[in-house]
Structure 1
């Protein structure tokens, strides 16, 4: 078996969709599972739940207790997962038995993805790249950061 768990960072872009298709091929020949992971910037989490007044059920955001804040974060992650799952609908139907879709929060996407890969036993990361020319531009800031943040092999596809 080449790989057992392949992680595909997913942001909804065509590059991410292409990476997913590539990962599906690798999973087929190595009998691997695929973990599709979307990162929600933690700075914007809860905006929909809190509203324009900056409060939740009349309690100012800065005064929320841990349970209330945890509820806001959970709701934001659930909402993001629902959107990502809808976006992936036509792309994962043929691999529903081997795919998981996860949403994580993070201020730095590369670090959040690296933590996920390490914590969940991923042995390969397949992600899209833009191909702009220079190393950082070619890989993109997230893939470049991911290369520096994890020991898991990273395969970029164009």
Structure 2
């Protein structure tokens, strides 16, 4: 028998309502709980391209909207974080990758939750490979395929 999933408190906000029907509260909770190693308190906010770009510019000095931004506040004893997902970017990426929209959202929720727990893919190739492997394992546990299967092999 596997260990119970960590408790999670969730505020789910739709500043951009276009994917409200796709991204149910239940599905967000399921994805986050599978990605957490400790209890969590998360706000997940779906935004439009304008808000996504403004946040990425303000906090990362990058002048474009990105798929997910993680604002982590505490990792112990409770993971406390805000995840901001830019609905138009997520939708565009899913179409480009040829994956289901919910599948892509689930991957990005897991990705953001790992960032909130200290995982970082921008600190070196070994860290990126470790984070990708963890994401792939979590998604497999959710019955989803490897999110990096579409990446060109070099």
Normalising by structure 1, report the TM-score.
0.26
Higher relative helix content: 1
Say which structure, 1 or 2, has more relative contact order (CA 8 Å, 6+ apart): 1
